[in-house]
Structure 1
Amino acid sequence: MVSIFRGYRNWMKKLKPSPPDEPMTGHTLWYTRCPVPSPLGLAVQLGWLDEAFQKAGVAVQSVLDSPQQSVRGSHFSHHLPWSVRQGGNIPALWARAHGASTRLLGLSWTDEFQAIITVGNTHIGQARDLRGRRLALPRRPSDQIDFHGATALKGIWSALTTAGLDLKDVELVDCTNHETALLATTQANLFGLRRRQPYFQELAALAKGEADAMFVKGAEGIFIANLIGAQLVVQTGQHPDPIIRVNNGCPRTLTVDNALVQERPDIVARLVSLVDRAGQWADEHPADTLRFVAREMGCSEEAVLASNGPDLHTTLGLGLIQEQVDALAFFQHFLFEHDFIPNDFSVTDWVYLTA
């Protein structure tokens, strides 16, 4: 991956950061990340985030570990001052489109399994066979952000595009789930897990004969496809065109609120350097990286390998490659066109400190 860090490092050389032991009473750096492969997640698991900022006199707290729902909600809305987030890009784009004062520091692009699957004797063997068929589409009307629906719709669009088809060529079957996203909460029917596995509404639609095919992604998608003995229709996660591959998990955005950028750019520089270091560590520790990512995702190492491939450890760097920024901009406009975000905006202008 071509790194942005030449530009960042030139910028950081011009900074006059506060001494490491300068106290910063009253300030807390809030962090949050999705349960996905990310260098920020690695830095947290390795203990580097606490260590690096304690030396700067900055208290570090997890958004999702807060007992207050108003704080945990910042995982999606990014409303907390002095906060950083890395994870799926849809919440980051949604927050920006709703006026959140954030800046994009970099992208981590880790390709993953993305596919349309079917079951039974549907006679759907390839993407072109989807014409006129019913595709399950998850809908989460009770959620602040319907990123499940947006992710699936983009996955369906990508699959159809590979065969010269469009969304108008298929019937989308709404699979509505009125549960809300669970943020660091517990429910008896989760049986001790942190969150419910996705796809159960779409699976029910397939089982009832209400839909012919569905979209799945990532290690969880691999597990589901394996569980039901699915037939693969088309896989787009390794497609050579990033416009086809771009989705909620590709790329994963590292964003920070603008208050931190304005008040303490040296802290932002420290953060970028730390995430950069975590990506370099991953490149040198493939087995440990796989283990840490599987732990982060709550999946088996086997499923992560099947989804992300044996080179996972080489893909956790932070970058701002123009091709990837352009793909993210395309996806942002896709979300706007399909009413998942309220406003169109310039992803390029959102970027902070490009090389």
Structure 2
Amino acid sequence: MSNSTQFRPTDVYYTVCPVASAISIAVGRGELESAFRGTGVTLHNIRHSPDRGVREAHYNQSQANLFREGGNIPPLWARSEGRNLRLIGLTWIEQYAAVLALPSSGIRTPEDLKGKRLGLVRRPNDQIDYARATALRGFLTALKTGGPDRSAVNFVDITIEEPLVANQPAPGVLSPSAFSATRLRKWDGLLVKALYEGAVDAIYVTGPAAELESVLDAHVVFDTRQAPDPCDRINNTTPLAFTVRGELLESDPDIVTAYVAQNIRTARWAKANPVEATRYIARDSGSAEELVPLKYSPDVTKALEPSLEDDLLVYLKDQKDFLLREGFIRNDIDIAAFVAHEPLRDARALVDAEQRPAAA
């Protein structure tokens, strides 16, 4: 897309989780802003809003004209609550996810979890407790692989009172994602505290907290990434969900196509430039560069382009079924009706046409 493209004057909002994402890289490289400069579209990152209600849209998707790329639990919740929200892409990015225990605990395998206290984050001041759902699914997957029945373990709350979007980011924070590295470390610290003080015997951690394994010299009781069945690797960030408010798609589909097209351009740039892309992923996920292959995989820069392949939609339905069964969402969702195929199809055609001469 060139800057000669003109759209109806529109305020467009976006938000992204602290994960490996093409849009985060596009923001960091200035490509997203450049793609829309002079087109009539004004972009706003909701994390900078002084209005907490606007920042809450990172989870409840309440902001008009909003794009979001990140964990799948909040958009599934929002869709189940009746939000006019459409799924326009998914990415399957392998991510560190493990049950950890201290070496002194004697817990070596999922079988050893019988009678033990498993820490579940509880966020009483947030609408959507995605962290609790994530940990519960991780623990249940571990138990399914040879551990005891869930009735034979004790789930213990690790309560985090601070709301997820209570404050705006501190000045100078580089990442465009919803959380700073400092805030992520603060929440990790509560897991460490619970484990070291003996309040729990095991914790479940994912990508952002991958370094806790070495910090604690912890034993990996179960590594989700090693599960041979992809369904056992499903969780909040596998797959990642790319969504847009339905009103924007209905009123201005060309804006949606242009936004998705920039996602694709940047994903392809990342695939061709893995070293530089890894630096952006490290910044945006609040980690050191050398930890990116641990938190994700050595091939993470090859996996950023969104898709709506049938297998990914099956995995998303599996996640929806889990959330419904465990009470994290109240209403069922028709995944087929949730999906809008046109923006990704049209964006791919646009980018393919742009890149064809260069490839010839």
Any idea what SS the aligned residue of 2:156 has?
Answer: strand
State the 1:330 CA deviation.
1.0
Identify the match of residue 277 of structure 2 among 289, 297, 303: 289
Q: Pick from 125, 132, 146 the counterpart of residue 142 of structure 1.
A: 125
Equivalences for residues 104-123 of structure 1 within 5 A: 104-123=87-106
How do residues 180-259 of structure 1 correspond to structure 2 at under 5 angstroms?
Answer: 180-182=163-165, 185=168, 195-197=183-185, 198-218=187-207, 220-259=208-247
CA distance in 1, matches of 2:204, 2:278: 25
Pick aligned residue for 2:318 from 330, 335, 338: 330
Quick check: 1:137–1:174 contact (8 Å CA) kept in 2? yes
In the alignment, what sits opposite 2:55?
72
The 1:23–1:310 alpha-carbon spacing in structure 2 relative to 1, beyond 3 Å, is closer
Offset from partner CA, 1:88-142 (integer Å, 9 cap, x none): 1111111111111110001011111110110032222112222232211111111
Amino acid at match of 2:310: Q
Matched, 1:22 2:6: yes
- 1:44 matched to 2:27: yes
Report if aligned partners of 2:12, 2:42 keep a CA contact under 8 Å in 1: yes
Counterpart-to-counterpart distance in 1, 2:315 and 2:160:
29
Q: CA RMSD in A?
A: 2.3
Instruction: State how far apart, in whole Å, the 1-side matches of 2:199 and 2:88 are.
Output: 43
Q: Provide the C-alpha distance between the structure 2 equivalents of 1:186 and 1:274, rounded to a whole number of angstroms.
A: 25
* C-alpha distance 184-315 of structure 1, shift in aligned 2 (>3 A): farther
After superposition, the Cα gap between the structure-2 partners of 1:343 and 1:248, relative to the gap in structure 1 and judged at 3 Å, is same
Structure 1 contact 87–254 (Cα < 8 Å) conserved: yes
Q: TM-score, normalised by structure 1?
A: 0.88
* Paired-residue identity, %: 35
TM-score using structure 2 length: 0.87
Are 2:86 and 2:244, in contact at CA under 8 Å, matched by a contact in 1?
A: yes
Task: For 1:166 and 1:236, locate their aligned partners in 2 and report how far apart those are by CA, in whole Å.
Answer: 18
Gaps of 5+ in 2: 171-179, 346-360
In 2: Cα distance, 1:319 partner to 1:169 partner = 40
1:320-347 Cα offsets, whole Å, 9 max, x none, are 1222211111111211221212212122
Structure 1 residues 331 and 201: CA distance shift in structure 2, 3 A: same
For 1:301, which of 276, 289, 293 is the aligned residue? 289
Contact 1:242–1:323 (8 Å) recurs in 2: no
Is the 8 Å Cα contact of residues 123 and 159 (structure 2) preserved in structure 1? Answer: yes
Letter in structure 2 aligned against 1:335? L
